[in-house]
Amino acid sequence: MNIASVFDPAFKPYGQVLAGCDSEELLRAMEAIPLPESGTAYRPGIESLEACDVFTDFRDRAYGGMPIQLGMCWGRNTKLNCLEYHRDSEVNLGTTDFVLLLARREEIEDGVLDTEKVMAFRVPAGLPVEVYATTLHYAPCQVPGEDGFRVAVVLPKGTNTEKPVFEAKSEEDRWMTARNKWLLAHPDSKEAKNGAHIGLRGLNIDIAV
């Protein structure tokens, strides 16, 4: 699969690079958290990361002063498996280069997205990028040669926490798997086996192949 840079014009519909953030303290705090033995881990908010000075920069500059959380997705992954979206942008920053597999929400047709629509973008280490609310995304992928990845995840406060309880009144309502999280799963994924909406058709992309 071709992997483009986030500096490539092709990235513009999906997100933007954020300038002027001093991430050194945050990167050190992230590196202090050990990788899981296998698979990936995610926590919406991590106290040691939120204590870093850049937290207020993300809150005030990236989210206009709105309440945010600063967590992390970390581990080992090279596959697509699922795509999700939120009603707000997400900011990502990695301790090493990493790859985002992205598509556009408007490309969903009748609750399904063809994985041929997915594009891959490489994000340099230490560079914060905003992934727009209209962009489908999921767990980052490690680049070849890296043992794994650690990627900070900045989102509005409460995102990816317990799913609200309500009566589903639309098809989209049934895609929600957590607070402010709508998910499309590939049939081969563990999420699909756990009952998530099967909304991806085609190859379950693996950038290591």
Domain extent, residue 70, equals 3-201
208, part of any domain: no
Residues 80 and 57: their CA atoms lie apart, in Å, by: 31
Residues 113 and 200: their CA atoms lie apart, in Å, by: 5
10, part of any domain: yes
Q: Running DSSP on this structure, what letter comes out for residue 58? A: I
The average confidence (pLDDT) of the chain is 97
88, part of any domain: yes
Residue type, 134: T
Least confident of 24-28, 121-125, 142-146: 142-146
Q: How confident is the model at residue 158 (pLDDT cuts 50, 70, 90)?
A: very high
Is the pLDDT at 45 greater than 90, yes or no?
A: yes
Q: What are 62-89's pLDDT values in tens digits?
A: 999 999 999 999 999 999 999 999 999 9
Segment 128-145 shows an average pLDDT of 97
pLDDT of residue 114: 98
Residue 97: left (phi > 0), alpha (psi -120 to 50), or beta? beta
Instruction: Give percent above pLDDT 90 in the chain.
Output: 98
How many domains would you assign to the chain? Answer: 1
206, part of any domain: no
pLDDT of residue 144: 87
191, part of any domain: yes
209, part of any domain: no
Residues 66 and 91: their CA atoms lie apart, in Å, by: 14
207, part of any domain: no
Evaluate if pTM is beyond 0.85.
Answer: yes
CATH code for the domain of 50: 2.60.120.10
Segment 54-58 shows an average pLDDT of 97
Residues 138 and 142: their CA atoms lie apart, in Å, by: 13
